[in-house]
Amino acid sequence: MTFPDLTADLAARMPELRGRLLANQKLAPFTWFRVGGPAQLLFTPADEDDLGYFLARLPADIPVTVVGLGSNLIVRDGGVAGVVVRLARGFSDIEVEEGHRLRVGAAVPDVKLARAAADAGIAGLAFYRGIPGGIGGALRMNAGAHHGETKDRLVEARAFDRQGRLHVLSNADFGFSYRHSGAAGDLIFTRALFQGEPGETADILAEMDRITAAREASQPIREKTGGSTFKNPPGQKAWQLVDAAGCRGLVRGGAQVSRMHCNFLINTGSATAADIEELGEEVRRRVKSASGITLEWEIKRIGVPAPAAAA
């Protein structure tokens, strides 16, 4: 699918734009599933000022979607209309501050935050070693693993709204709950400040090694996957419900429920986004039938189906 090219019009509106603006850019290479259609426009801002400038001058009728490292994401086969914002190098800084704090850009991978904290002798952030994503996504969904959550360590974050206005949000402003942030959906997070505690680098690295070993032993991390597919219902484990419904190894096209950990869907090599999403919906149907519980997607799904699939 090819969208109308809006780059010339936007370039005329934004003569001082410094970031990259590309029309009909493939998004599949940016996702861990390696599937999905193009972005009508893919914008990679140079820095915070460039992002604010762009948003302030973008026509209000053009939708904006943000993607991070693509680890917890399905881009549908028809692609994403409007602008897809992807933060990169200008948002990858990590600064150690007094009081065992780290200030990091939203494009920083979670694992790099964990390693930077360890190198600085800051404990309490090692759990990020077990989260396959970036800081922006962690803020949006209160990412957590191994007995830690983003809400436990976040002090504040910076973000731009759809009109290009800068906001500084405290932890309380997020309204965090399980795998959810109550922050306004149009906010694009750019930087965050985290609070740790004194620790020994060797001890923190040992904890990170334990987390790595646990993940490698129980999760299909070397496959084309999107991480945990469904949220754990209260008092339940999603994978146990999926397993009890007979879905371990279930196949739809080129997509499969992982045999190693059945709350993971994998692209076996030829899957479309539709294969993966339809497989997830079939799992939800079977779990509902077997247990009466409706699983909620943890993976974010964006875009539109391919034209043939929509017909």
The catalytic residues are 179, 228, 298
Q: Phi then psi for 203, rounded to 5 degrees?
A: -70, -40
* Pairing of β 224-228 and β 166-170: unpaired
Q: Which amino acid makes up residue 164?
A: G
* Contact of 269 with 255, CB cutoff 8 Å: no
Q: How far apart are CA 234 and CA 260, in angstroms?
A: 23
- How many C-beta atoms surround the C-beta of residue 172 within 10 A? 9
Distance separating alpha carbons of residues 41 and 58, to the nearest angstrom = 12
Q: 94: which 2 tokens?
A: 């990590």
With a CB cutoff of 8 Å and minimum separation 6, the contacts of 28 are: 34, 35, 36, 37, 75
Residue with tokens 């922050």: 183
**Spatial CA neighbour of 27 closest among 89, 69, 90:** 69
Mapped onto helix, strand or coil, the DSSP state of residue 296 is coil
For residue 146, the SS3 value is coil
